Amino acid sequence: MNNFGKRHQIVILLAILLALPTGLFSQSDTLSKPTNDPSTKEKSTEDIHSLYAGIGAGSNMIYLGSSISNNKPFFSASATYGYRNSLFVSASASHIKEMSPYIAFYNLAINYSHTFNSWFDISSDIAGYKAAEPLQDSLFSDFAYMNLTTGFDWKLLYTRISFSGIISEENGFFLQVSNSRYFETPEFFKGKAFIYFNPDIDILFGNLISVEKASGSNKYSNAPPFSHARKKPVNSADIVTEKFGLMDFQFSIPVTFSYGRFSLEAEASYLLPVYSESYYPDQKGFTFYLNALVKIF
């Protein structure tokens, strides 16, 4: 049995079963699902069933302020089943550069979204991440992610408020507030193609570690819920406590080219931690990813 333990696996299995009627989906794994911006829902063909295949690559996979690709480039392949453009079930496999075995971790996710009117929608998500056995200690231990998001369309801005929880060796609660603005070009190539932009500013709140030094100074840092970033040894005179607070800002600019059943998305992001003198190595700077998606039917 891996580090995750039988008890946690049972909890996650029950959560998945209970969530099936309402659906859930991983907030951060954008490589494993089709774009679901509220502005694109009106373009749905109302097909009952749909199937997508995708491949993607990125410079680093940041998940709730922590890197789950060990600060290395990654490559992913995914398949997504959609039901009435509201319920999506996705599976993906990812390879991390210079890591063995070739498939470093797998992801299974379920998402359900519902639009109530022109200005309000909700979505709920659940996802499980499983690392290869040899990478359980160096990469991350298995974990599950659960999320509830409300979306508000103010015409000028689209606001998402997400309440998230992680089940792992160290559980965690997160609050995210995101604001984005959707832009779309006129259609071209005989009406089959268009390009859209969706710049986004994301604010993340979560568990922070406070280390009170014997000298009286304090340090604050992100408290990652993954096994590869457990608490470091500290001086016996240091006092370590946890608090809930502002973790970081993330600025992203995704640009998507859509042509018929095919879409190609490129996204550049910049992560800016708010805490200083981090107790853990912080994630800071630019990341980039590219994703190609094909609708099979």
**pLDDT tens, the chain, 297 aa long:** 444 444 444 444 334 333 333 322 233 444 445 554 443 444 444 679 999 999 999 999 988 888 888 889 999 999 999 999 999 999 999 999 999 999 999 999 999 999 999 999 999 999 999 999 998 888 888 889 899 999 999 989 999 999 999 888 777 889 999 999 999 999 999 899 999 999 999 999 988 877 777 666 667 777 666 655 555 555 666 777 788 889 899 999 999 999 999 999 999 999 998 876 556 666 788 999 999 999 999
Q: What whole-number percentage of the chain has pLDDT above 70? A: 75
Strand partners, 265: 256, 291
Would you list the domain boundaries of the chain?
6-295
Tens of pLDDT along 166-188?
888 777 889 999 999 999 999 99
* Stated pTM of the model: 0.80
Tens of pLDDT along 103-162?
999 999 999 999 999 999 999 999 999 999 998 888 888 889 899 999 999 989 999 999
Which pLDDT value is given to residue 22? 31
- Identify the CATH homologous superfamily for domain 6-295: monomeric porin ompg (2.40.160.40)
